[in-house]
């Protein structure tokens, strides 16, 4: 469980970095939509990092565990709604929701914490 939780956390971080890098390819100038797109990547990186911190310290920090769960749950719902609204491909929906959904469940699983 600990390894799976680490993989989920790191995959969310990597997805965020890819999202931020894609902002420079999708938007060729600094505009409000470009900043909002980039901020989605920042959100992913910070949520992934929060999961990695929760994995390491969540057993001893219940406030961190609940904060991480809330962030994961919000990101899961937001990602699902975003995927539906933007007509995301089934593959991308399964990938993104699988990572975030896995992290959401594991964030409250005691055996997933170091």
The packing angle between helices 32-57 and 2-26, to 10°, is 170
> Helix or strand or coil: residue 66?
helix
- State how far the alpha carbon of 104 is from the alpha carbons of 24, 34, 62, 65, 70, in Å: 29, 28, 15, 10, 8
The CA distance from 113 to 100, in Å, is 17
Please report, for the chain, the start and end positions of each structural domain, with discontinuous segments joined by +.
2-112
pLDDT at 114: 77
Q: What is the pLDDT of residues 48-61, one digit of tens each?
A: 999 999 999 999 99
The residue-averaged pLDDT of 90-102 equals 95
CA 42 to chain centre: 10
Q: Where do the H-state alpha helices sit in the chain?
A: 2-26, 32-57, 62-85, 90-107
> Helix or strand or coil: residue 99?
helix
Q: What is the pLDDT of residues 52-87, one digit of tens each?
A: 999 999 999 999 999 999 999 999 999 999 999 999
Q: What is the pLDDT of residues 13-55, one digit of tens each?
A: 999 999 999 999 999 999 999 999 999 999 999 999 999 999 9
């Amino acid at each position: 469980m600990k390894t799976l939780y680490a993989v989920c956390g790191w995959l969310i971080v990597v997805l965020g970095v890819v999202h931020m890098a894609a902002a420079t390819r999708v938007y060729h100038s600094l505009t409000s939509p470009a900043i909002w797109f980039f901020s989605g990547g920042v959100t992913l990186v910070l949520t992934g990092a929060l999961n990695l911190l929760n994995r390491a310290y969540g057993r001893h920090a219940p406030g961190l565990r609940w904060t991480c769960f809330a962030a994961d749950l919000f990101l899961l719902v937001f990602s699902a709604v975003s995927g539906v609204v933007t007509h995301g491909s089934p593959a991308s929906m399964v990938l993104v929701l699988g990572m975030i959904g896995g992290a959401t469940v594991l964030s409250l699983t005691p055996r997933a914490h170091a």
